[in-house]
Amino acid sequence: MANILTKIPLIGKIATLLTNKILRSIKPFKGSNDYWNKRYENGRDSGDGSYRKLAEFKAEILNDFVDKHTIESVIEFGCGDGNQITLSHYPHYTGFDISSTAIDLCKKIFTNDDTKCFKNLDDYNNETAELSLSLDVLYHLVEDAIFEEYMQRLFKASRKFVIIYSSNTDVNPNNQPPHVKHRKFTHWVEKQHPKWNLIDKIPNRYPFQGDSKTGSFADFYIYQQRD
Question: What are the sequence ranges of the domains in the chain?
Answer: 1-30, 31-225
CATH code that applies to domain 31-225: 3.40.50.150
Using an 8 Å Cβ cutoff, are 170 and 188 in contact? no
Strand order in the sheet with 93-97: 116-120, 93-97, 74-77, 129-135, 158-166, 219-225, 196-202
- The pLDDT of residue 105 is 95
Give residue 111's Cα distance to chain centre: 23
Nearest to 120 by CA among 106, 130, 109: 106
pTM of the model: 0.86
- The pLDDT of residue 111 is 95
- The pLDDT of residue 177 is 87
- The pLDDT of residue 12 is 52
- The pLDDT of residue 53 is 96
- The pLDDT of residue 46 is 83
- The pLDDT of residue 5 is 42
- The pLDDT of residue 17 is 52
β strands within 21-172, DSSP E: 74-77, 93-97, 116-120, 129-135, 158-166
- The pLDDT of residue 43 is 87
Pairing of strands 129-135, 219-225: unpaired
Mean pLDDT by 10 residues, the chain (227 residues): 48 52 58 86 85 96 98 97 95 97 96 96 97 97 96 98 97 89 97 97 94 94 93
- The pLDDT of residue 8 is 54
Q: For the chain, how long is the longest CA-to-CA vector?
A: 57
- The pLDDT of residue 118 is 98
